[in-house]
Amino acid sequence: MRVIVERDFPSVSRTAARFVARLVRERPTSVLGLATGSTPLGMYQELIRMHREEGLDFSRIVTFNLDEYVGLAPTHPQSYRRFMQQSLFDHINIDGRNTHVPDGRALDFEAHCEQYEKLIDEAGGIDLQVLGIGADGHIAFNEPGSSLGSRTRLKSLTAETLRDNARFFGSIEEVPRLAITMGVGTILESRQCLLLACGQAKARAIKETIEGPVTAQITASALQLHRDVIAVVDEEAAQLLERREYYREVERAQSLLEAGEISKLLPHKS
């Protein structure tokens, strides 16, 4: 796992946006997996800026969102479809028909989840999956104890998740108790994952995800099994990492390699 420690939220957002933008430019028909929540907001704002000021073209991009609350209409103020429209889709030149968010009002949830998996497969799979992380180490709505081989499905939310998300609603009683979510197994099939985390509240989860054992109790730890994961975290989220200095050294070496200055990494001859 490549670990990039940035100074703060704006720096994390800019770095994350650069990874997404690079893929969009190199492969204009890419399939992006997208996340909601406060953490990716800065990244979306930077992508909007790149679209407006640098001509970043999303016209042939396809997207799949990780999850959606059960029972909320797409127009509900707290639905994830509404979040994506307001935070990104309405401000770039993406074809609305190419944006996919699970339907929280599906009449047959099992069939809908199977269809969502089929749509991802028919699109050629997800090239880059953006992920946030919960304070308890969950990705998407794969709560602690979720199968690491799970697929898109209906999931009950934990009391901790309900408390964390209550700030977006009027009260905890208004937070839906169920969600449709991509499974851990679905996420691990993405060609690349981009994990974002900011703030002291995420420090323990990031420590356990990156340096702890792989366990279903910390579903994000399954990312250790993925062949290509980039974690971009701020100083506060990285504060408990024991190998922070090593991660910094790796990034310095990566920067030199990308600049074509490999000679600076070779042993000096006497």
Query: What is the C-alpha to C-alpha distance for residues 23 and 141, in angstroms, rounded to an integer?
Result: 26
Average pLDDT over residues 98-112: 95
Residue 167 CB neighbour total at 10 angstroms: 9
Q: Are residues 156 and 259 in the same domain?
A: no
Q: Are residues 29 and 97 in the same domain?
A: yes
Query: What is the C-alpha to C-alpha distance for residues 194 and 224, in angstroms, rounded to an integer?
Result: 13
Q: Which tokens go with 238?
A: 């990285």
Q: How confident is the model at residue 242 (pLDDT cuts 50, 70, 90)?
A: very high
Q: Are residues 7 and 128 in the same domain?
A: yes
Q: How confident is the model at residue 177 (pLDDT cuts 50, 70, 90)?
A: very high
Q: Are residues 132 and 249 in the same domain?
A: no
pLDDT(265) > 80: no
Q: Are residues 49 and 151 in the same domain?
A: yes
Contact 32, 101 (CB under 8 A): no
Q: What is the pLDDT at residue 35?
A: 98
Which residues form the domain of 186? Answer: 2-239
Q: What is the pLDDT at residue 262?
A: 77
Q: Are residues 114 and 38 in the same domain?
A: yes
Query: What is the C-alpha to C-alpha distance for residues 66 and 125, in angstroms, rounded to an integer?
Result: 13
Q: How confident is the model at residue 170 (pLDDT cuts 50, 70, 90)?
A: confident
The 10s digit of each residue's pLDDT in 130-160 is: 999 999 999 999 999 999 999 999 999 999 8
Phi and psi angles of residue 126, each rounded to the nearest 5 degrees, phi first: -90, 125
pTM: 0.94
**Of 120, 151, 129, which Cα lies nearest the Cα of 227?**
129
Number of domains in the chain: 2
Q: How far apart are the first and last CA of the chain?
A: 35
Average pLDDT over residues 103-127: 97
Largest CA distance in the chain: 73
Helix, strand, or coil here: 28?
coil
What is the phi-psi region of residue 124: left when phi exceeds 0, alpha when psi lies from -120 to 50, beta otherwise?
left
List active site positions: 67, 136, 138, 143
Query: Which helix (H) or strand (E) is 14 found in, with range?
Result: helix 9-26
The 10s digit of each residue's pLDDT in 178-224 is: 999 999 999 999 999 999 999 999 999 999 999 999 999 999 999 99
Q: Are residues 265 and 144 in the same domain?
A: no
Query: What is the C-alpha to C-alpha distance for residues 88 and 173, in angstroms, rounded to an integer?
Result: 28
Q: Are residues 174 and 270 in the same domain?
A: no
Q: Which tokens go with 30?
A: 């890419």
pLDDT(269) > 70: no
Query: What is the C-alpha to C-alpha distance for residues 110 and 117, in angstroms, rounded to an integer?
Result: 11
Residue 267 CB neighbour total at 10 angstroms: 5
Q: What is the pLDDT at residue 255?
A: 84
CATH number at residue 114: 3.40.50.1360
Query: What is the C-alpha to C-alpha distance for residues 204 and 135, in angstroms, rounded to an integer?
Result: 7
Q: Are residues 7 and 49 in the same domain?
A: yes
Q: What is the pLDDT at residue 237?
A: 98
Q: Are residues 126 and 253 in the same domain?
A: no
Query: What is the C-alpha to C-alpha distance for residues 157 and 47, in angstroms, rounded to an integer?
Result: 30
Q: Are residues 231 and 109 in the same domain?
A: yes
Q: Are residues 204 and 99 in the same domain?
A: yes
Percent of the chain predicted with pLDDT > 70? 99
C-alpha distances in angstroms, 52 versus 56, 83, 92, 156?
A: 7, 20, 8, 39
Query: What is the C-alpha to C-alpha distance for residues 177 and 60, in angstroms, rounded to an integer?
Result: 35
